[in-house]
Structure 1
Amino acid sequence: MNILVIKQTSLGDVLHASGHIRAIKKHYQKQCPGSKLFLLTANTSADIYRHSPWVDELILVDRDSIKENWRKKPMRAIKEMQRTLSKVRQHKFDLAIDFQGLAKSVFFLYGAKAENKFVKGNWWGLKGFRNKKLHAIKEMDQLLQVAGIPTTDTTMELVVGNDDKLSVDRLLLKINLENKPILIVSPFSRWPSKDWPLKNYMEVCEAVSNAYQVVFTGSPDRKIQIDRGMEDGCCQSAVNMAGAQSLLEFVELTSRASLMLTGDSFPMHVAVAKQTPVIALFGPTDENKVGPLGERNRVIRAPGCDVCDNRHCSRHCLSRLDNDEVIRMIHEFTPDSCLASA
């Protein structure tokens, strides 16, 4: 049996589907041993499933090329989509499920040679499910149930390789000489309105630095910003790992951490997948739809924010969030022995 799963972007959304991919593969492995699961995803998301035992083959979409050319050179973008579709159509599928439900993904679902097709959303001629009020993971649970697939366990998972583990072993020997609990701080997301000011992150980290080894993470283009924040005199004992790790090395580092502090971002989802407690700061987005599931995780909402879902909201409600509230929450997670030494 051949199964096609479509989930293209963004990184957090792609990771959301990891438990559902496991549920699909395990279900059909019992019924049809030797079943193959193909995952259509963006090239930028491929590492999330590089070591997954549930994905047999990746079909990659050149997301950057399509996005770059869509307005100025649309024919190039269309040709890239056609090239990807031809890869999809090389196979005949018994089942195809699109967890994205957007035009850019449904294009491939319509074009796939599949006997049964399911989609997140309402699309002509396709069986689907859509309820925007549900958490993204719960919404995908419902879609699987429409497809007749059990959803007893759809918790996220992320598998790394041995090389990634060894790399983090070496890193920790260098940066954590006192063997303190590690606090990962990921201050940036793709939306400016979702980011608490870096100055606030720095001040909070300075306040808890005696109890934790603070490690800042982020994309390569954020390294200079974090360096400058530390040069201003805040949290100089922290380590800036922005741009210094691969995606999977970051995942492994997260699994070794005692706590993560971040906004609504991909690192937040990684922490949940690796069962590392996370304090997530929310402003324009709704934690009830995309927030961290799990009893150990906490959300702090920006005061007076009306959840506008605006990438560039001029109000920037998170700037009104008080440092003390975040520090108190971190202390709730901090072992008494560390607080005493601090």
Structure 2
Amino acid sequence: MKAFPVWSVANRMKRPLPERPAHICVLRLSALGDVCNLVPTVRALQRQWPEARLTWIVGKGEHSLLSGLSGVEFVVYDKASGLTGMREIWRQLADTHFDVLLHMQQALRASVLSLGLKAKVRVGYDKARAKDWQHRFTHRQLDPHPRAHVLESFMDFARLLGVDPAYTDHLEWNLPVPEAAMAEAARLSGDAPYVLMSPCANPRLRNFRNWSPEGYATVTEHLWAQHGLKTLLTGGGSAQEREMGERIRALAPDEAVIDAIGASSLKGLLALIARARLVIAPDSGPVHMANALRTPTVGLYATTNPDRAAPYLWREYVVNRYPDAVRAYLHKDPETITWGERVRHPDAMSLIRAEDVIAQAEALLALPRTATSEPTNEA
């Protein structure tokens, strides 16, 4: 098989978009928060063309979160497998011809993977939003959408294809949470009401998104004293996350904390979020998982722009110190910087105050408790 069948023509042909695609390919490998933000676009496509096949090429960890999503055929790529893994996917899909490929990952790895897929038309981001020369790997680009939220950027793909605004404006997730995950969550959380706190973001180079254990402990103590709400700590099993959990526990009342760091699966985490009264976390997967389940969410933002990446349904409840961080550590006016520019400074999150987090938590706890969305038990 020819590995790179479209490179020479991809960016030179403005091919027509299909009116009724029979088979749609979504290419988005990572990350957990991003794939949660993409699901409403998948649902809009499904409502517009319920008879169409939809194949989603996704990362290994992300698939463990999304598995069982109704109407979606997953093809899983483990980024650790590199080019070998790509060749396996090309072999797996060698006889598959997509009517349209939605190239929704702004990374060179994904663009290389896309070259071995057969599609009549490839759609990618406009030049302003594309990264790693992504527009050179596609036939059609999105219309410009300056200052778009990540979720809206994904939905722009559906809009370009002509999906009815009734479907693009009404956001739907219906993430599957199997019974085994609900049982796992019940075992970890017990019967007491709780707030879920995921204190650490994914550790990456110069990715300073974590707030202080002192701040988390202050919020934990307030929620326990004022509302009788325990704080359930979640996260992976890394040394950094375990250390953060231990420091929070040392500073907060013993009876107020349930330590589930490193103890849940991703589906189990979804179930824990579904059962929580409230979620508090920095810019990370759990705030977007909570958003997808419509669980009230306080996002903590100073190093990333919440206008671009906040939990979408709960944007007004974000603790937003991003403009202050831009002024203090980039020495720039927030209105003049590149959209989505990060503040890569280890002290930026210290601009968030415990009283700000408590105020937003109180505002959310005061809202009527309505079952606006329930997780499904698909898969």
2:94 counterpart of 1:93: no
1:241 to 257, 260, 265: 260
Shift of 1:312: 4.2
Contiguous gaps of at least 5 residues in structure 2: 1-21, 128-134, 331-340, 368-379
Give the superposition deviation at 1:160: 1.1
Shift of 1:111: 2.7
- Name the amino acid aligned to 2:159: Q
Aligned to 2:282: 263
Q: Which amino acid aligns with 2:274?
A: S
RMSD: 2.3
| Secondary structure of 1:329 counterpart | helix
What TM-score comes out, normalization by structure 2 length? 0.76
* Unaligned segments of structure 1, at least 5 residues: 67-76, 337-342
Shift of 1:131: 3.6
- 1:12 and 1:269 in contact (8 A); partners too: yes
- Is residue 207 of structure 2 the alignment partner of residue 195 of structure 1? no
1:1-342 aligned within 5 A: 1-29=22-50, 33=51, 35-55=52-72, 57-63=73-79, 65-66=80-81, 77-122=82-127, 123-124=135-136, 125-129=138-142, 130-131=144-145, 133-150=147-164, 151-172=168-189, 174=190, 176=191, 179-180=192-193, 182-190=194-202, 192-210=207-225, 211=227, 212-221=229-238, 222=240, 224-237=242-255, 238-294=257-313, 298-302=317-321, 304-306=324-326, 309-310=341-342, 312-314=344-346, 316-335=347-366
Distance in 2, matches of 1:229 and 1:132, equals 41
Other structure's SS at 1:54 match: coil
Please state how far the C-alpha of 1:149 moved relative to its aligned partner. 2.3
Q: When the two structures are superposed, what TM-score results if normalisation uses the length of structure 1?
A: 0.84
Q: Distance in 1 between matches of 2:297 and 2:43?
A: 24
Q: Is the 8 A contact 2:303 2:344 kept in 1?
A: no
CA distance change for structure 1 residues 236 and 93 in 2, over 3 Å: closer, same or farther? same
The AA in structure 1 aligned to 2:297 is: V
The number of equivalent residue pairs is 314
- Aligned-residue offset at 1:133: 1.6
> 2:25 is matched by which residue type in structure 1?
L
| Superposition deviation, residue 262 in structure 1 | 0.9
Does structure 2 retain, via aligned residues, the 8 Å contact 1:141–1:154? no
Sequence identity (%):
18
Given that 1:187 and 1:201 are in contact with CA atoms closer than 8 Å, whether structure 2 keeps it comes out as yes
- Contact 2:233/2:245 (CA < 8 Å) preserved in 1? no
